[in-house]
Amino acid sequence: MTLPGSPFLAYRGEELFLEDCALDALASRFGTPLYVYSQAAMLAALEPYRRALAGREHLICYAMKANSNLAVLQTFAQAGCGFDIVSAGELERVLAAGGDPAKVVFSGVGKTRAEMRRALEAGVMCFNVESEAELEVLSQVALECGTRAPVSLRVNPDVDAKTHPYISTGLKDNKFGIAHQRALVAYRRAASLPGLRVVGIDCHIGSQITDTGPYLDALERLLDLVEALEAEGIEIHHLDLGGGLGITYTDETPPGADELIAQLLARIDARGHARRKLMFEPGRSLVGNAGVLLTETLYLKPGETKNFCVVDAAMNDLMRPAMYEAWMGIVPCVRRDAPAQTWDVVGPVCESGDWLGRDREFAVEPGDRLAVLSAGAYGMSMASNYNTRGRAAEVMVAGSQAHLIREREDAAELFRLERTLPR
C-alpha cells in the first residue's frame, strides 16, 4: 500500500518503509523523535522542474528555508541546483555543503549591512531587493566593497495565492516586495545608483499554492513591467518566478511542476520573452513529501470527550500544526491487527497547542512508533528548544542505506553558550 504524497513511502505487509528502509527499525536504531528523509524522493520531485525547463536557459534555486540540513543541500547542489537564501547563515550552509555561490539568490526583507558584505564577498548571483530603502543601503555597501551588486527587484503583484494568510506573500498587505505601482520608480532609482547593476525581476506570491491561476496572473503583471522597463532602456536579463507550489498533505491536488511551468512558458513565449533566462525557487515541493517524523507512543489517556495518544515528539519538533493548524497524516510504523480508535496525538510540551494531529483513527499501544507524514519541509528547519528539549536527529535514506545526517542534541549542548552570574 502506497500512501498519499510519495511513491517511496509504502507498507510492505504491516511494516512502513521509506525506500527500502523499515521505519520502525530506524526508530529502534537512532531513537525518537527522528526525522527521516528519502534522497530518491527529493530527486524525483526535482525532475519535473528539470524536464519542463529542458532546452531553456534556466536555474532552479532550492528555497532552503524549507529544510536546510547540509546533506539535503548537498543533494541538490550535486544535482546542479542553485539556492534561494534569506540570511547570511543560510549562505554559510550553502558553502559548507559545496554549493556554488554564483548560483545563489539572496532574498529577504531585512538584510543587514554585514549580510550584504558577506554575500558580496562570496560572489552571490543576485540580491532580490524587497524595498526602495534596501536599494540605497546595498549600493552604499557595494561601493564600500569596491564592486557593484547585481540586483533583481522583488515585485509584489497584489495577487491572491489563496493559501494560508501566514504564508501568503503577494498581496499588498504583505510585508514582502515592492508594490507593483512603485516598481517602475524603484527600478529607475536602482539603475541610477552607482553601486548596483540591474539584472532581473522577481516575484513570489506565497506557499502551498494548489492552483495555477495566481501564478499566471502574477506573470502577466510581471511581463507588463518588463516591457515598460525595457522601453525606458532598463534591460532585464532574467525572470525569477519564485516558488510556492503546494504538495499533497491529505486531499489537495496541486498541479505538477511540469504542468505549471508549461502554462507559464506558453504565456512567456506568446508575449515574446522566450529569450530570457528563467529562474524558479521551489522549496516545499522538493522536500515536503520526502520526509517523515517518527515518534514513540508514551501513554494512552482515554477521556470523556477525547482520547489522547501522548508521544515523545512535540510542537518544538514540528511547529506546523500548532502554528498553522496544519493537517499532517499520522500512521503506525507497524500496523496492529486490532480495532482502530480515535485519538488526538499530543506531545509533552506544556502548552495546549502542543498537538500533532486531531481525531486520528488507528490501533496503538504504548511503545508503538508513529510516522507523521509530509514532514520534510518546515519541520526540522522550524524546530526549537522550547522546554529545553533537544532537537531531533535526522537520517537520510538511499535505497537500503540509512545515513545519520544530524546527531540528536543533548542538554549540555543547549546551554553551552550560556553563563551564570558571578557568585
Distances (CA, A) of 76 to 131, 135, 287: 30, 30, 10
Task: Return the bridge partners of 343, or none.
Answer: 360
257-270 vs 39-53: helix axis angle to the nearest 10? 20
Helix (H) or strand (E) holding 156: strand 149-156
- d(CA 207, CA 162) in angstroms, rounded, equals 9
DSSP 8-state symbol, 367: T
CB 92 within 8 A of CB 114: no
C-alpha grid cell for residue 238? 532574467
Residue 397, helix vs strand vs coil? strand
Q: Which residue in 75, 61, 38 sits closest to 376, CA to CA?
A: 38
Residue 389, helix vs strand vs coil? coil
Q: Which residue in 29, 14, 34 sits closest to 332, CA to CA?
A: 14
Phi, psi of 62 (to 5 degrees): -65, 125
CB 169 within 8 A of CB 207: yes
Pure H helices in 57-112: 70-78, 88-96
DSSP 8-state symbol, 226: H
Q: Strands 369-372 and 393-398: what pairing? A: unpaired
Q: Does the N-terminal peptide bond of residue 33 adopt cis geometry, omega within 30 degrees of 0?
A: yes
C-alpha grid cell for residue 40? 530518491
Candidates 145, 309, 333, 350; catalytic one: 350
- d(CA 422, CA 417) in angstroms, rounded, equals 16
- d(CA 180, CA 221) in angstroms, rounded, equals 8
Look-up of cell digits 526540522:
380
Does residue 350 carry a catalytic annotation?
yes
Q: Which residue in 326, 247, 325 sits closest to 290, CA to CA?
A: 247
Instruction: Please calculate the CA angle 58-60-66 and round it to the nearest 5 degrees.
Output: 165
Length of the chain: 423
Task: Return the bridge partners of 404, or none.
Answer: 395
Task: List the catalytic residues.
Answer: 350
